[in-house]
A and B are shown apart, each in its own frame.
Chain A
Amino acid sequence: MPSDTIAHAVGVPLHGGDVRAPADVFNSIFEVFLVLGTVVGIVVVAYTMYHAIKYRDSGSTDDPYADTVERPQLGEKPTGGTGGRKVFYSFGISAVIVVSLIAWTYTTLLYIENGPDESQAAIDAIEIEVEGFQFGWNFVYPNGHETNSLVVPQDRVIKLQVTSLDVFHNFGIPELRVKTDALPGQYTSAWFTASETGEYTAKCYELCGTGHSLMVTSVEVVPQSEYDEWYADTQSSGNGTSGNVTAAIDAGATTAVGGAPA
């Protein structure tokens, strides 16, 4: 597998750059929610305060609304006040806003869940297995190479299969808006692409013991050519380091990727 996949890789076009990145999806939705949330917040809070202030008790003995409103009496059997219709109108408006907002995000959820269109991106996706442990991360590349920090090429779809070797962790790279739970005995999946090269940070987002805060590692996004060089270097030591711990998963991952670590 190793040598011919590398050869194969060189000719594969870089589709990852055409794929809408999860970070982009998140940021655009978040923006809309922030704007709308702020507007709704200001309107409702102002509306509440308007009622509180407008109907404050002036201290006069005469009840200004004596004709329309009956005041509660001590010992009365509890009943409702008049004016229920307005409650329904307001409720209706708020329900429409909330439901349509969430429905609007649902299509993007499908996108994040299912990943980019297979025909477009699957052939050049890199599938990496992520193993959380107290207190660090282990990344297993398709060739069996294992590292404690992540190196990925720019503009490529990176698919993660995440698990844990001990307790409940959560793997996240905040800047790239990718996050998923790392559970012992199970795999969860997530994917991302990075259009900018540079150094990012992966963190653990679930309290996993005393060293939880230290469970960070670097994520290096490099140009494709640099990655290819780096990846070729891993070939020699690659399969050797893959212990029986990961052997079974390697087999699965390799077939899923279709033998293509670009």
Chain B
Amino acid sequence: MPTTSSLQIGADDLAFPRLNALSYWLYLFSGILVGVSFFQGSTFAGGWTMYAPLNTPAYIPGEGLGATSVVLALIMFTAAVTMGSVNFLTTMYRMRAEGLRMRDIPIFSLSINLTVWMMLFAFAALLAALMILASDHVIGTTYFQFANDGSTLGTSAENPGASLLWAHLFWFFGHPEVYIVFFPALGAMAEIFQTFTGRRLVGRKWFIISMVLVAIQSFIVWMHHMFLTGINLPIKTIFMATTIGISLPFDLMVFSLIYTMAKGRVRFKTPFLFSLGALLLFILGGITGVFLGAIVLDYQFRGTYWVVAHFHYVMFGGATALIGGLYYWYPKMTGKMYDEFLGKVHFATFFVGFNLLYFPMFIAWETPRRVFEYPADLQIWHNLSTVGGFILGASMLVMFYNLFVSIWRGEDAGESPWKYASTAEWAVGSPPKLENFPGLPSYASGSLEFLDDEEVAERTGKPPGAGVAADGGTASDGGTARNIRAVTAPATPTAAAHETGGEGHASHASFWPFLVSLGGFIAFLGLSGVRTGSPVYVGMAAVGGLATVGSLVGMTRESFHAPEMAIAERWPFEGVEKMKLGMWTFLASDVVLFGGFIGSYAFVRVAYGWSDWHHDLIPAEHVTMPGLINTYLLLTSSFLVVLAMVAAKREWRGATTASLAGTFALGVGFLVNKGIEWNHLFHIHSEMFPNGWTLSTNIGSSTFYLTTGLHGAHVVVGLVICGYMTIRAWNGAYQGDDKPIEYFGLYWHFVDIVWLFLFPLFYIL
């Protein structure tokens, strides 16, 4: 995915290559942690939706540490996803080939762009849900328990919002996730349709507008997963409307694909067969989805095979298109052609198996999900499904064999084996070189060209060879007579010369991302068992934590430079440099994270009774003063960061250092003050709270400590950065270059602003 879309938009690499490595390693280790969790037991014991309170330790049989590890693993995965999202978005907005407006980028890349936007926000909400759940597991907060003592039978709910809170958090992530999974498939489908029908996408503009609408609307349909939870009629009506509303753009996209075939030269190669198959499956999934949009029907479909069949037609239908995408880009990735006959065999068995597996589920829809008994008269359909499942599984073996063997036996694919393929990835060799393009790609003339060094130098005013090579990724010994190589020309020998591009491409080889991820893995595995008190687990948590922090410092100190493209299309962020854009994107997801925490607090408090809350749950010793002092400390520290920037710009080394040191001191003061406050509250002995007001005391204390604690953690991260920068400033850094201080300042101001919300919510109201 990164490769194809960066090729399609003409970027030579991702904006932050080392972050990409970190994202990858975190992803890998999160997967390993999920694997390990199965050996600890109880992984996903409550199903993948992990409904509360079945997901809390009170309901997990035995020690059930796997249930905790898997939540921590998902946190790690979400961190990887967020880094990836920041990276992709920065790349797409800062590194497009000249002349490519956002609306001009190929439809697959556009679908990825929207997918990543949805990921940025949806996964932040998931992160909030997972962090809260992990804290219920590891440090004993009581968000998802409806009785404070963890008792499992009774109706006296001390936290009546517990169950629904999880459902809301989960589906606020869960529904956009459906489109996150489906959009890349949609993009691949559209791309493959264009190539194999020899037609440009009909109604492309409206196709794009439809996708944008879906991406936005995906965040306002989540409650249709909760129609039976007792939400009131007006809200149900709104969510019914948004749900039907989100299906309409898909109608348009389906018709757009159908009409793209008209007057085409349709060639039934494997990629197209899978895409066409996916379209048919999606049509069936869409029609059966309309059934679910009618709430009266939805009630009865809830928890039955109708839902199972419907979402497999949609989601696995999407996967079908992605398999088509795999065949489509296989020659680009490997330089070899797969075997067409085996590809068609794969499609035929896959399509038969798919429908045999899932279609009978519509007929046997009365079967409840996750129940191993069903009425005897439905047996034939279940048997057919089982047979279909095996056929579907077997068909995938054909693909693996085909793709594996073709790496050696396949014919050479050349730059493009596909007639009418139009996007940029088909204009370079297969597989593409490390630097992606034989020159700096540009669409300025209306179609793709590669600018060589001299041309770039002329345009940017820099002498050839100096920095330009690194920027464009071209080697300065490319020496061709022409400045511009049009893509329609056959590959010239110059391409070969680029292989030895020397220092041309930024080296990605950094060991630190791997070590950070390994440390995180050990720390999380340790955390999963900390509540048992076992020294092995505690030790792992400590060692892993130290290793993570140590490697992060190492990563910061390592000199690493990923140059930007000399000429690129950057709308709408021409004026925002790469780091700043990355920081802003990250903060946008952080807003949703805090939104998740603050929203959870508001939700459980409203469910409890807004004013009773303060009376029943909060001790008199919880006073406003510590919060007020902390507000003052943080605001002052933000002011000092601004002073540090000014001083750095004017090259006043002493003042820069002093301002940063002041910021650091005020931040430490904030934490010390908070520490005193918390310590006091932990140990109060009042009539209401004879054993202190700790994390587990009630839902009021849980929300207070966890939400302000998350903010405190942000302060700690800020202080680590600030301390590091103070030392560097003392050694003379940043003079005349206040950018790094500005990036830190953005983060620090954000943390302050969050506090301005938390203070009234947790101290005054």
Contact = CB atoms under 8 A, between A and B. Distances in A.
Given A71-B420, A212-B371, A188 B268 contact: no
Contacts of A63: 265
Looking at A78, A203, A204, the one whose CB has the most chain B CB atoms below 10 A away is A78
Interface in B250-272: 251-252, 254-256, 258-268
Contacts of A84: 202-203, 205-206
Contacts, number: 315
Interface string A56-96: 11000001010011111111111111111011101100110
A169 to B, nearest CB: 10
Contact of A208 (B54, B164, B283, B284): B54
Interface string B103-126: 011110000000000000000000
A69 B199 contact: yes
A170 B251 contact: no
Contacts of A112: 296, 299
Interface string B367-400: 0111111000000000000000000000000000
Interface stretch (B148-156, B216-224, B405-413): B148-156
A245 interface: yes
Interface stretch (A11-19, A24-32, A147-155, A219-227): A24-32
A33 B255 contact: no
A108 interface: yes
A25 B228 contact: no
B422 A170 contact: no
Nearest to B194: A72
Contact of B263 (A65, A99, A113, A179): A65
B690 interface: no
A98 B163 contact: no
A36 B21 CA distance: 51
Looking at A102, A184, A209, the one whose CB has the most chain B CB atoms below 10 A away is A184
B761 interface: no
Contacts of A218: none
A51 B51 CA distance: 45
Given A29-B296, A72-B199, A207 B47 contact: yes
Contacts of B422: 72-76, 78
Interface string B276-299: 100110011001101101111101
B162 interface: yes
B304 interface: yes
Given A68-B263, A212-B370, A168 B420 contact: no
A105 interface: yes
Contacts of B263: 55, 65, 68-69, 83
Contacts of A30: 291, 297, 300
A185 B699 CA distance: 14
Interface string B419-451: 011111011000000000000000100111100
B198 A95 contact: no
A206 interface: yes
Contacts of B53: 166-168, 184
B252 A170 contact: no
B302 interface: yes
Contacts of A69: 199, 263-264
B59 interface: yes
B287 A37 contact: yes
A41 B283 contact: yes
Contact of B303 (A82, A102, A110, A172): A172
B300 A26 contact: yes
A179 B368 contact: no
B81 to A, nearest CB: 26
Nearest to A188: B230
A164 to B, nearest CB: 8
B366 interface: yes
Nearest to B109: A78
Contact of B294 (A102, A204, A206, A212): A102
A168 B55 CA distance: 10
A186 B276 contact: no
B100 interface: yes
B244 A98 contact: yes
B59 A168 contact: no
Interface stretch (A42-50, A117-125, A233-241, A253-261): A42-50
A131 B155 CA distance: 9
B446 A77 contact: yes
Contacts of B261: 48, 51-52, 55
Contact of A101 (B203, B294, B448): B294
A133 to B, nearest CB: 7
A19 to B, nearest CB: 16
A40 interface: yes
B197 interface: yes
B717 interface: no
Given A37-B287, A51-B258, A65-B263, A165 B296 contact: no
Nearest to B427: A75
A159 interface: no
Contact of B265 (A57, A83, A208, A248): A57
B52 interface: yes
Name the prevailing secondary structure of the A interface residues: mixed
Looking at A29, A47, A74, A245, the one whose CB has the most chain B CB atoms below 10 A away is A74
A161 to B, nearest CB: 11
A9 interface: no
A119 to B, nearest CB: 21
B104 A77 contact: yes
Interface string A170-200: 1010100101110111111100000000000
A143 interface: no
A251 to B, nearest CB: 13
Given A113-B233, A185-B160, A179 B54 contact: no
Interface string B144-178: 00100000111101011111100100000000000
A42 B100 CA distance: 40
A101 B294 CA distance: 8
B201 interface: yes
A165 B154 contact: yes
Contacts of B194: 72
A106 B397 CA distance: 47
A175 to B, nearest CB: 9
Contacts of B302: 170, 172, 179, 205
A213 interface: yes
Looking at B47, B287, B293, the one whose CB has the most chain A CB atoms below 10 A away is B287
Given A78-B104, A81-B202, A184-B163, A249 B155 contact: yes
Contact of B255 (A91, A181, A186, A248): A91
Nearest to A26: B300
A40 B296 CA distance: 21
B622 interface: no
Contacts of B254: 44
Contact of B373 (A168, A185, A213): A213
Contacts of A91: 248, 251-252, 255
25 contacts: A25-B296, A29-B296, A51-B262, A55-B197, A55-B264, A76-B446, A78-B106, A87-B206, A90-B259, A95-B248, A98-B251, A165-B152, A166-B152, A167-B54, A168-B163, A170-B303, A180-B230, A181-B230, A183-B230, A184-B163, A185-B159, A209-B46, A213-B370, A213-B372, A245-B155
Given A75-B427, A98-B248, 18 more contacts: A33-B291, A55-B264, A55-B265, A57-B198, A69-B199, A72-B199, A74-B416, A77-B443, A81-B199, A83-B263, A84-B202, A90-B255, A174-B368, A181-B229, A185-B162, A185-B163, A207-B369, A209-B54
Interface of B: 45-47, 49, 51-54, 59, 61, 99-100, 104-107, 146, 152-155, 157, 159-164, 167, 194-195, 197-207, 228-230, 233, 236-237, 240, 244, 247-248, 251-252, 254-256, 258-268, 276, 279-280, 283-284, 287-288, 290-291, 293-297, 299-300, 302-304, 366, 368-373, 416, 420-424, 426-427, 443, 446-449, 486-488, 607
Sorted nearest first, the 10 A-B pairs with minimum C-beta distance are A185-B157, A80-B204, A205-B303, A75-B448, A185-B160, A81-B200, A188-B230, A75-B487, A72-B422, A84-B203
